[in-house]
Amino acid sequence: MTAPSPLRLTEIEELTLDEAREEHAALVAEIHHHRELYYSKDAPALSDADYDRLEQRLARLEARFPELVTTDSPTQTVGAAPSSGFGKVKHKVAMLSLANAFEDEDVADFVGRVRRFLNLSEDAAVAFVAEPKIDGLSLSLRYEKGQLVQAATRGDGAEGEDVTANVRTIKDIPHTLKGNAPDIVEVRGEVYMNRAEFLELNRVQAEKGDKVFANPRNAAAGSLRQLDSKITASRPLRFFAYAWGEVSAPLGRTQWESRQKLESFGFTLSTPSRLCDGADALLDYYREIGIQRPTLPFDIDGVVYKVNDLALQERLGFISRSPRWATAHKYPAEQAMTRLNTISIQVGRTGALTPVAELEPVNVGGVVVSRATLHNKDEIERKDIRVGDMVIVQRAGDVIPQIVGYVADKRPADSHPYAFPDHCPECGSIATREEGEVVTRCTGGLICPAQAVERLRHFVSRNAFDIEGLGIERIQLFFEQGRIRQPADIFTLEAREEQRIDRLVTMTGFGKKSVEKLFQAIEARRTIALDRFIFALGIRQIGEATAKLLARAYRTVETWQARMVQAASERADKREEKKPELVGEAYAELCGIEQIGVSVADDLTDFFREQHNLDALAALLEQVKPEEYVPPATASASPVTGKTVVFTGTLVTMGRSEAKAKAEALGAKVAGSVSGKTDYVIVGADAGSKAAKAQELGVTILSEEEWAALIAGH
C-alpha cells in the first residue's frame, strides 16, 4: 500500500473543519503505513525526523480540532490502551492457568495424585520438568510456515487481545523460526522485564513526569498493551518460552524435548530448569532456586513442575482451568530485618493521614526497600511498632512492602509507644477521626496544600484526565510555583504563559519542545467522557464504577450538576431525616440508582454543599466540555435486554468483569446484589448467600452454561 502524501502548505490555523478532516484521514493512513514499514517490515522509508514531523502535524491538527481524534489515531497512545483498542483472538487451544502448591506436603500430594490417576504404584518413577515461574504476563505466538503471524495475550483463556504489532518489537521474539518448524506452531511463554531494566525505566519515566510502575509485572503489561508500538519498542521487554498451543506436528515426545525444540527455533527458555524424578528431587530444586531467587535478574513467584512424558500429560488432562499434569510451587513473601528510623505522615487527597515507615534501606529479595506503609493509627497500635525498633519487612510480589512486626529482644530500653499526630503535619489543622472510621483526617480542606496537590494528582491520573507529560512531579512543581492551584488552571496555563514560554522553560527546566507537547496534550483533553470527568473530581467514595453509574443515570454534566445541587439543598434542610424519599425528590432519585446508597449520596451532597467546590467546578466547566453519555448500542433482539442480572461465585469461562461487560453490551443491567427486581442470577462455583437469596425470592437461577446458551449468538 502507498499512502497519499498530502500537501501541507496551509497553516493549521487557517484550515476549515472539512479541510482538516481530509488531511487528518490522509495523515493517519500515512503514519500507520510508515509504522508498518518500521516495526513490521523492518524497512523504514523515512528518516526519524521526517516521521516525527508527520506525527507533530497530526497532533497539532487534533489539538485545533479535537473532534477529529479517533481511538485508532496514532496520537492516542497514552497509558494502557483500552482493550477495545485491540482486536480479539480466539485461542485454538485454551490458555490455562496452574494450580498452586505452597507446602512440601502439597508437592507430595501433587505427585501422589499424578501416580494414582495414572494407576501407577507408589514408587513408580515419574519424571518432571521443573522451571522457574516468572512473574509477567503470558502470551501466545502463532507461526505459520515459520513466520510470526499473530500474537495474543491470554485474556480470559479462551479469547485474548491481538498484540501482534507490539510483539514484533520485542527482541527476544523471532519473526522467523530457525530450523525446520512444523507448518503451524503456537509458542507460549511469558513477557517480563528484568529488575534492573525495570528500575531504569521507572527512573526515566519519573524524570519525564510520566507514570512510574509498581513492579516489573505491571510495567511489562502496561508496555505490551500500548496502542502505539513505538512505546512498546522503547521498553525493555523480554520473553521466555515454556509451552505451546496448536501445533501441526508434535515438537517432541516429552516436555524436555519440546523445550529443546523451542530453543532450536530461536527462543530463550525459562532457566535454570531441571529434570526431576519425584517429589524429593522437586523439593531440592525448589530450595536451590529459592536461594538463588534474590540474585536472579528477574522476579519469580515460584517454580513450575510439569510431567515430562507428553503421552502421560494427555492422559492426565485438565480440571476446570488447570492441567492435572502441572502445578506451581509458590515461594513465601520475601522478608528482611531492618531498623525503623522514623514514622512520617502522608496527607492524601481527602485529608487522610497515612503513616509511613522510613526504614534503614534493606535488600528484600533483590529490591531495596526504604519505606513501607503502616496503614493507620490502629495498625501501629495493634502491632505496637515504635520508632527505633528492628522490624521485619515483607515484600510479596505485587504488593507494597509491609511491616510484619518488631523483634522483641532488639527493642531499645528507652523506647516508647508511637504518638499519632493530632494535627496535620502539612497545614497544622486539627486532625480528627470520625466514629467508626479507622482513618484520621486533616480538617484543613482547602487551606491544606497537601490535599490540594493530591487532588490535582488524582485529577490528571490515568483513569481520570490522563494528561500525558503532566505527572506527579510536574504537578507538584507547578503547584509550588503557583501556576496550577486547581484543575481549571491546567487549561488556562498556555494562555497565561503565552508570551512567556521561555520563562516557563527556564523556571521549570523542561525543554521548549516538551512544553509545547504538554500544551498539546492538555488541549486534547478539552473534551472528555462524562464518567471520567466525574471520577476526576475526586469526590469521596466516587470511584470509577460509581462515576459510570452517575454518568449513565444523568447523561449530561448539566443535568448531573443541577440534580446534585438540588439534592444537596434538600439534604441541608432535612439532615436528620433518614428516609431518602422524605429528604426530597432529587436526593431520593440519587439513592434510587442501583448500587448507590445513602453513604455515597451523602458524600456527593456534601461536596455540592461547599461553595468552593461549586466555584472550582464552574471554573473547570468553562474550560472543559464533558461529553453526553451515550448508552452502548444494544441489539434489541437480545434475550436479556432490559433484564437485571447478578453474577455470583467463580466463573469458569470468563472473568467477572468480562461477563459483566458482555451482559451490559447485550443491554442487561448488572447488579451487585439480589433483590425482587433481579431477573437472573448466574451462579459459578462456590456461590454463597446470593444464590440462596435468589432461591428464596424465586429468581431464575442459571448455571454458567445456561447463561452462555441464553445469550449464544448475540
Active site residues: 133
Neighbouring residues of 30: CB distance < 8 A, sequence distance ≥ 6 = 3, 4, 5, 6, 54
Closer to ligand IVH at the Cβ: 301 or 466?
301
Q: Is residue 275 near ligand IVH by the rule CB under 6 A? A: no
- Cα diameter, the chain: 85
Q: Which of 111, 141, 307, 326 is the binder for ligand IVH (CB under 6 A)?
A: 326
The three three-digit cell numbers of residue 60, written as one number: 497539532
Burial 74-96 (b: 16+ CB within 10 A, else e): bbbbbbbbeeeebeebebeeebb
Q: Is residue 181 near ligand IVH by the rule CB under 6 A? A: no
The three three-digit cell numbers of residue 259, written as one number: 523445550
Closer to ligand IVH at the Cβ: 229 or 255?
255
Q: Site for ligand IVH (CB under 6 A): how many residues? A: 15
Q: Is residue 567 near ligand IVH by the rule CB under 6 A? A: no
Q: Give bridge partners of residue 626 from the DSSP assignment.
A: 528
Looking at residue 36, the DSSP 8-state letter turns out to be I
Q: Is residue 141 near ligand IVH by the rule CB under 6 A? A: no
The three three-digit cell numbers of residue 155, written as one number: 485474556
Q: Tell me the closest approach of the beta carbon of residue 176 to ligand IVH, in angstroms.
A: 24
| Phi, psi angle pair for 414, to nearest 5° | -95, 15
Burial 586-603 (b: 16+ CB within 10 A, else e): bbbbbbebeebeeebbbe
Q: Is residue 138 near ligand IVH by the rule CB under 6 A? A: yes
Closer to ligand IVH at the Cβ: 306 or 525?
306
Q: Which of 152, 243, 452, 551 is the binder for ligand IVH (CB under 6 A)?
A: 243
Q: Tell me the closest approach of the beta carbon of residue 205 to ligand IVH, in angstroms.
A: 25
Q: Which of 29, 96, 212, 702 is the binder for ligand IVH (CB under 6 A)?
A: 96
Closer to ligand IVH at the Cβ: 30 or 301?
301
Closer to ligand IVH at the Cβ: 358 or 658?
658
Q: Which stretch binds ligand IVH (CB under 6 A): 309-317, 320-328, 456-464, 465-473?
A: 320-328
The three three-digit cell numbers of residue 557, written as one number: 454534566
Q: Tell me the closest approach of the beta carbon of residue 226 to ligand IVH, in angstroms.
A: 20
The three three-digit cell numbers of residue 80, written as one number: 494502557
Cis omega before residue 66 (within 30°)?
no
Q: Which of 78, 111, 134, 604 is the binder for ligand IVH (CB under 6 A)?
A: 134
Q: Is residue 81 near ligand IVH by the rule CB under 6 A? A: no
Q: Is residue 30 near ligand IVH by the rule CB under 6 A? A: no
Q: Tell me the closest approach of the beta carbon of residue 585 to ligand IVH, in angstroms.
A: 52
Closer to ligand IVH at the Cβ: 133 or 211?
133
Neighbouring residues of 113: CB distance < 8 A, sequence distance ≥ 6 = 324
E strands along 445-523, which residues? none
Q: Tell me the closest approach of the beta carbon of residue 243 to ligand IVH, in angstroms.
A: 5
| Phi, psi angle pair for 461, to nearest 5° | -70, 170
Q: Is residue 304 near ligand IVH by the rule CB under 6 A? A: yes
Residue 333 CA to residue 213 CA, distance in Å, equals 20
Q: Which stretch binds ligand IVH (CB under 6 A): 31-39, 133-141, 449-457, 537-545?
A: 133-141
Closer to ligand IVH at the Cβ: 60 or 274?
274
Answer for the pair 154, 348: CB distance below 8 angstroms, yes or no. no
Q: Is residue 328 near ligand IVH by the rule CB under 6 A? A: yes
Closer to ligand IVH at the Cβ: 126 or 385?
126
Q: Give bridge partners of residue 147 from the DSSP assignment.
A: 144, 176
Q: Is residue 97 near ligand IVH by the rule CB under 6 A? A: yes
Q: Tell me the closest approach of the beta carbon of residue 269 to ligand IVH, in angstroms.
A: 9
Query: Residue 441's CB: how many other CB atoms inside 10 A?
Result: 21
Query: Residue 5's CB: how many other CB atoms inside 10 A?
Result: 10
HEC profile for 260-282?
HHHHHHCCCECCCCEEECCHHHH
Q: Which of 55, 62, 131, 210 is the binder for ligand IVH (CB under 6 A)?
A: 131
Q: Is residue 296 near ligand IVH by the rule CB under 6 A? A: no
| Phi, psi angle pair for 607, to nearest 5° | -60, -45
Q: Is residue 242 near ligand IVH by the rule CB under 6 A? A: yes
Q: Is residue 323 near ligand IVH by the rule CB under 6 A? A: yes
Looking at residue 463, the DSSP 8-state letter turns out to be T
Q: At 566, which amino acid appears?
A: Q
3-class secondary structure, 543: coil
Q: Tell me the closest approach of the beta carbon of residue 325 to ligand IVH, in angstroms.
A: 8
First to last CA, the chain: 35
Q: Which stretch binds ligand IVH (CB under 6 A): 95-103, 368-376, 454-462, 529-537?
A: 95-103
Closer to ligand IVH at the Cβ: 4 or 297?
297
Q: Which stretch binds ligand IVH (CB under 6 A): 5-13, 69-77, 94-102, 704-712?
A: 94-102
Q: Is residue 163 near ligand IVH by the rule CB under 6 A? A: no
Question: Where do we find the cell 496527607?
Answer: 347
Closer to ligand IVH at the Cβ: 169 or 270?
270
| Phi, psi angle pair for 400, to nearest 5° | -65, 140
Residue 174 CA to residue 460 CA, distance in Å, equals 38
Q: Is residue 98 near ligand IVH by the rule CB under 6 A? A: yes
List residues near ligand IVH by CB under 6 A: 96-98, 131, 133-134, 138, 190, 242-243, 270, 304, 323, 326, 328
